[in-house]
Amino acid sequence: MEPTTWTLIAAVLAVAVLLVLVIWAKIQAFIALLVVSIAFGIAVGIDPVGLLDLVVEEMGGGLGQVALVIGLGAVFGEVLQRAGAAERLATTLISKFSDRNVAWGLGFAGFLVSIAVFIDVAIVILVPMLYNIARRTKRSLLFYGIPLCAGLSVTHTFIPPTPGPIATAGIMEADLGLIILYGTICGIPAMLIAGPLFGRWISSRIFVPVPEELAAPPEPREPRDLPSFGSVVATLLLPLALILAGTTAEAVLPENSSARTFFTFVGNPVIALLLTCLFTLWFFGLRLGRSRDELQQMATKALAPAGVIILITGAGGVFGGLLVESGVGDMLANTMASANMPIVLFGFLVAAVLRISQGSGTVAMITGATLTAPIANTLGVNDTVTALTCIAIASGAAAFSHVNDSGFWMANRYFGMSVADTLKSWTVMKTIVGLTGCTMALLLSAVVG
C-alpha cells in the first residue's frame, strides 16, 4: 500500500493516542496497543475482515521464539533467586574487594545478578545488604548503591534472557547471539561509568545515611545455605555461552557439518534456555531436596509476569505489522535516509521519548522496536546493525528514569532519599547508562556495520 499524507497523520495520531491510553487512562499496554492497532488499520482503509486476519497473523507470528524464551528465562531466574544466587554473588564479590574498591565489585555483582533476576527483585534483596557496610565505613549509601544499581540496570535492559531484550530482538528479528555480544561490549563501559565512577562522584556531594525508618531487613541466610559462587556464575553464563556458540558456529563452520548442526541446535535460544532451565530445576531444586510440587509452584509464579510481557510483545508486533502494511515504514525510512540519520540513533530517540512519556522501560523497548522494525526492514540493514539498533533502543529505554517510573520510587524508598536527591543520583545514573550505551552502539555501527 502506498503511503499518503493521511496515512502518516494517522500513524502520528495512533502513537499519540497510545500514549494517552497508557499514561492518562492507565489502560494496560497490551490492550492499548491492540485498540490502537485496530483503529489505525480501519483509519487507513484496510478491509475490516482482512484487518482481523492480519492482527491474528501478526500476533502469532511474532511470538513463537519470544514467548518460549521469556517463559523459560522467567522460570530459570525464579529458581536461582529462591536458591540465594543473588546473595551469594554479592557477598562473595564484596568480600574480594577492600572497602575502598568494593564499588567495582558491586557493579559486577549487579551485572551478573540481573542476567536472571528482575531488577526490582534484586533491589529488594541486595540494597539492604549494603546497610551494614555503609554504617561501618560511614560513607554515603550512594557510594555502594549506585554501582550495584548501574550493574543491575545495564544487564536488565541490554542482555538476554531478561524480557525486554528478548522482546526487542523478536520484534526486530535480531540475532540473540549478536545482542549478547554487543550488549556486553556496550554494557560494561556503561556500568563502569554510571556505577563506580559516577557513584564515587555523587556520593561525595550527597550524603545518604542508612534509612533507619525502614523495617529491619530479613536476616541473611547462612553462607553454608547458599549455593557456591562458581555454580551460580556457571549457571548464569550457560545460556549465554550456548547462544554465542550457535551464532559462532553459523559464522565459521562449514554448512552441513555435524559440528555446525550440533552447535546451531544447542545454541538456538529456545534449546539453550530449555537446557539451562532443566539443569537449574535439578541442580538448585531437586538435588537440594525441594519437592516437585514446590518447583511447580515456583515455575507457575514466575510465568505470571512473563505472560504480561509476552502479550505486550505480541500486540507490539501487530502495530508494527500494520505500519508496514500501510506504507509508513517506507516513508519513515526515506525520511531518515534523506536526513542522514543512522537507524541506531533513531531507535534510541524513539525509545527515549516513550520512556520519558510513560515510564516503563519494557513498554518503551517494545514500542520503540515496533516503530523501528519497519524502517530496518525497508533499509535492509545487516545483522550487526540490527543488533546494535536493539542495544540503542534498550539504551533509550534505560535512560531518563523519573517520577513516572516504578524503579525511581523503589530507589527512593530503599535508599531513603528525597525526590530531589533521587533525581540527582538515580535518574542521572540511569541516563548515563543510556547515553553511554547509545554512544558505544553508534561507534560500533560505524566501525563494524
Q: Which residues contact 28 (CB under 8 A, 6 or more apart)?
A: 308
Q: At residue 391, what are phi and psi to the nearest 5 degrees?
A: -65, -40
Give the residue ranges of the chain where pLDDT is below 70. 1-4, 58, 60-65, 213-225, 324, 327-330, 332-339, 449
- For residue 218, the model assigns a pLDDT of 54
Residue 312 near residue 22, CB atoms below 8 Å:
no
Claim: this prediction has a pTM higher than 0.75: yes
Nearest-5° Cα angle at 42, 40 to 43? 60
- HSE-CB of 3 using CA atoms within 13 angstroms: 19
- For residue 437, the model assigns a pLDDT of 96
- For residue 62, the model assigns a pLDDT of 58
Helix ranges restricted to H, 85-175: 85-96, 102-113, 119-126, 131-137, 142-158, 163-172
- For residue 65, the model assigns a pLDDT of 67
- For residue 125, the model assigns a pLDDT of 79
- For residue 221, the model assigns a pLDDT of 60
Residue 369 near residue 318, CB atoms below 8 Å:
no
- For residue 359, the model assigns a pLDDT of 78
- For residue 337, the model assigns a pLDDT of 63
